[in-house]
Amino acid sequence: MSQPTVARRIDALEHALRVTLFDRDTRGFHPTKEALRLTTTAEKVEASINAFTEEVEIALRASLLPIRITMPRTNFSSNFAAIISDFRALHPNVHFEFISTYDILDLMAGEADVAVRIARQIDDDRLICRKLTTVTSSLYASQGYADRNGLPTSETDLKGHSFVVYDRFASSTGVNEWLMERIDKSQIVSRCSEAEAMHAAVKSGIGIGIINTSIATDDGTLLQCIPPPEGTSASSWLLINPEAYRRPEVKAFSAFFAPRFQAIFKKLKATSVGSA
């Protein structure tokens, strides 16, 4: 602080206490006997105030609810982890709970605060909804499968090939339904309920399967058979419970997450186009 500021604050303190704390002369300020006698008590007051402030900060951190995020397991990737890490570097007091499931949790019922969901459209207009990306899937095979059987090059070239299809998990992009309309049941060699199982089955070489194009690009070893079928794309959405959105940390996370998620997806898409 500048000398005039210190002088004004001393004057204000002396006026409030009605005690002279410093003698002034041409050589500066000198503590009076009263000031020396009060110093120990003043230091105790300062320590108490600092301790009180620290307890308030602890209480605030303890009362901060975690942001509960639900997504399919495939979305909990290293890219997602990097976004969370960057956000926590700016907001170290914000905590998260991650709910990994393909089930559609009821955000309005409080089963989660935030969801990243793949769907053609969102029917619940009560949710705060932001479109993130366009999601496409296509037919992919391993190099081993291609070496043994070749690859189909169009939708009319599917005969004679083996396929892995989805069972319980309905393909949100519509490729599973598209494929089932074009192949015979005898061509199905395996059924999967989740994307991770589909990915593993295709990589094993037992058949051609349905893989999200971004995941296939990130994998780097799978071979695309045909372009994503027309009319089978969906969108990824950031959905937020409106009550949770009133919390400053949830609103901050939404503003932080969406553009970074979109940038990562755009980069993966560019890589996919470039490799094609």
Per-residue pLDDT at 254 exceeds 60: yes
Position with higher pLDDT, 73 vs 270: 73
Three-state SS for the chain is: CCHHHHHHHHHHHHHHHCCCCEEEECCEEEECHHHHHHHHHHHHHHHHHHHHHHHHHHHHHHHCCCEEEEECHHHCCHHHHHHHHHHHHHCCCCCEEEEECCCCCCCCCCCCCEEEEEECCCCCCCCEEEEEEEECEEEEECHHHHHHHCCCCCCCCCCCCCEEEECCCCCCCCHHHHHHCCCCHHHEEEEECCHHHHHHHHHHCCCEEEEEHHHHHHHCCCEECCCCCCCCCEEEEEEECHHHHCCHHHHHHHHHHHHHHHHHHHHHHHHHHHHC
- Range with the poorest average pLDDT among 12-26, 35-49, 184-198, 262-276: 262-276
Position with higher pLDDT, 61 vs 117: 117
46-73 residue pLDDT tens: 999 999 998 888 776 656 789 999 998 8
143-177 residue pLDDT tens: 999 999 999 999 999 999 999 999 865 555 689 99
> Could you tell me the pLDDT band of residue 268, with boundaries at 50, 70 and 90?
low
CA 198 from chain centre, in angstroms, equals 23
Task: Compute how many other C-beta atoms are within 10 angstroms of the C-beta atom of residue 206.
Answer: 18
Which pLDDT score is estimated for 276? Answer: 45
Per the CB < 8 A criterion, the answer to whether 122 and 239 are in contact is yes
What is the phi/psi pair of residue 11, to 5°?
-60, -45
What is the rounded CA–CA span in Å between residue 134 and residue 174? 13
Question: Residue 116 is encoded by which pair of tokens?
Answer: 């990243």
Per-residue pLDDT at 246 exceeds 80: yes
Question: Residue 133 is encoded by which pair of tokens?
Answer: 């990306």
Its pTM stands at 0.66
Beta-bridge partner residues of 137: 212
Residue whose C-alpha is closest to residue 195's, from 221, 177, 169: 169
For each of the domains in the chain, give its residue range(s) and CATH number, in order of start. Answer: 3-63 (no CATH), 67-135+234-275 (3.40.190.10), 137-224 (3.40.190.10)
Instruction: Lay out the sheet containing 223-224: strands in order across.
Output: 209-212, 137-141, 223-224
In the predicted model, what is the mean pLDDT of the chain?
90
What is the rounded CA–CA span in Å between residue 190 and residue 182? 16
